[in-house]
A = this chain, B = another copy of it.
Amino acid sequence: MSLVRVHNFAVSLDGFGTGEGQSLETPFGHASHRLHEWFFPTRAFREMSGQADGSRGVDDAYASKWGAGIGVEIMGRNKFGHQRGPWEDDGWTGWWGDNPPFHTPVVVLTHYERAPIEMQGGTTFHFLDAEPKEALEFARSLAGDLDVRIGGGVSTVRQFLAADLVDHMHIAVVPIVLGRGERLWDGLEGLDEGYDIESVTAPSGVTHLTLTRTSSAA
């Protein structure tokens, strides 16, 4: 069975995966870019934007695991766009331009139906109204034998964790105190019991945390 993975998911010291006041201009609200400053200099990120430079240290070692072996991404609607409610025909096709960095099918969870959107470079957005388990089945049908990445946002990751569907998760803990926004860890008491947990600090100040399902190491 293919694995369900989370990568490069950043939270503040106080556990917020996004700030308050998300909008078109500020997708992470008052957190602005502060949760992702460790990520931007990495070679993995630079390659996504067509650049051949970038750092090769420990931040990049983690960041570069994002795409390998992934056949599909599941994301929440709020990661896809800033709109809420029924879809308006405004030509919005995500934050990422004509050639999004996914290069696989992407399942966007939404209560509002919409026809798939085929982008350049192999990314197709599918829109689905489903609970995590059913969404995962659909995603696997698109992914072949490859793994499924849960791409965010915060509540989407939390829902898949709560449903015990995540096999591996990489979290970057950023040394800032956001104070408000959306918390990753809420309602997940005892989550650690099913995982081997490892922490590694980086010179950037970030702590990389990996949770790997205990049974999957056997």
Contact = CB atoms under 8 A, between A and B. Distances in A.
A189 B185 contact: no
Contacts of A205: 197-199
Given A185-B14, A207-B207, A177 B190 contact: yes
A13 interface: yes
A177 B201 contact: no
Interface string A162-201: 0000000000010111111001011111111000011111
Nearest to A188: B177
How many chain A residues sit at the interface, stated as a range, is 20 to 34
A15 interface: yes
A175 B209 CA distance: 9
A14 B205 CA distance: 19
Interface in A63-102: none
Interface secondary structure of A, over-half rule: loop
A179 B188 CA distance: 6
A175 B188 contact: no
A218 to B, nearest CB: 20
A207 B202 CA distance: 12
B207 A192 contact: no
Most buried by B among A173, A183, A199: A199
B200 A177 contact: no
Interface in A101-129: none
A14 B171 CA distance: 13
Nearest to A176: B192
A185 B192 contact: no
A24 B89 CA distance: 62
A112 B207 CA distance: 42
A207 B201 CA distance: 8
Contacts of A197: 175, 205
A189 B207 contact: no
7 contacts: A14-B188, A177-B185, A177-B189, A178-B189, A179-B190, A199-B201, A201-B201
